[in-house]
């Protein structure tokens, strides 16, 4: 599995509770553009409507050799999940005040897949705690690196 794009902001903004893998309904030129890593999911979000899941605001740059059919770069795309997964996610989002966000786009063999997560938003003090934890881990790694260079 080759990572194409990740949503680093999601790890900072949310607590990830459950992860799911979904396919994405794409046209040919979008797949070619994704293989060239011309995709961003930083501002995208997932909604549920009529028993179907959709990703909004996912940016896929127009493929350079596309001539005839040029889809909108930020169009709404359908996610391919099992009916049971869709109903379960939709129920949890509506009842428990959770949200569903994309975490990463990756290639699984020749298929483009999207890892999505059921998340709960972090409060300000939780974000501060995440920053503090990240900074201490970075400091530890730097000190270990310095010690290995000195010996």
Helix (H, G, I), strand (E, B) or coil at 41: coil
pLDDT attached to residue 128: 87
| Mean pLDDT, range 81-103, rounded to an integer | 90
| Mean pLDDT, range 127-142, rounded to an integer | 88
CA angle 145, 147, 151 (to 5 degrees): 120
**What percent of the chain has a predicted confidence (pLDDT) above 90?**
46
111 bridge partner residues: 108
pLDDT attached to residue 1: 79
Helix (H, G, I), strand (E, B) or coil at 4: strand
Whether the predicted pLDDT of 105 surpasses 90: yes
Question: Quick one: fold of 2-121?
Answer: Small Protein B; Chain: A; (2.40.280)
pLDDT attached to residue 146: 84
State the pTM of this model. 0.78
pLDDT attached to residue 48: 93
Calpha distance 122→100 (Å, rounded): 14
pLDDT band of residue 31 (cuts 50, 70, 90) is: confident
pLDDT band of residue 151 (cuts 50, 70, 90) is: low
pLDDT attached to residue 20: 94
Q: Average pLDDT, whole number, for the chain? A: 88
């Amino acid at each position: 599995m080759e990572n194409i794009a990740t949503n680093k902001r999601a790890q900072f903004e949310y607590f990830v509770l459950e992860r799911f893998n979904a396919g994405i309904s794409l046209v040919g030129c979008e797949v070619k553009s994704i293989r060239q890593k011309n995709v961003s999911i930083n501002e995208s979000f997932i909604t549920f409507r009529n028993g179907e899941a959709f990703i909004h605001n996912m940016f896929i740059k127009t493929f350079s050799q596309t001539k005839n059919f040029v889809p909108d770069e930020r169009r709404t795309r359908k996610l391919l999940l099992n009916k049971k997964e869709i109903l379960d996610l939709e129920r949890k989002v509506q009842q428990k005040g959770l949200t569903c966000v994309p975490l990463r786009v990756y290639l699984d063999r020749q298929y483009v897949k999207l890892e999505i997560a059921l998340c709960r938003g972090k409060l300000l003090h939780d974000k501060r705690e995440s920053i503090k934890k990240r900074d201490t881990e970075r400091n530890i790694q730097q000190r270990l690196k310095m010690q290995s260079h000195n010996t």
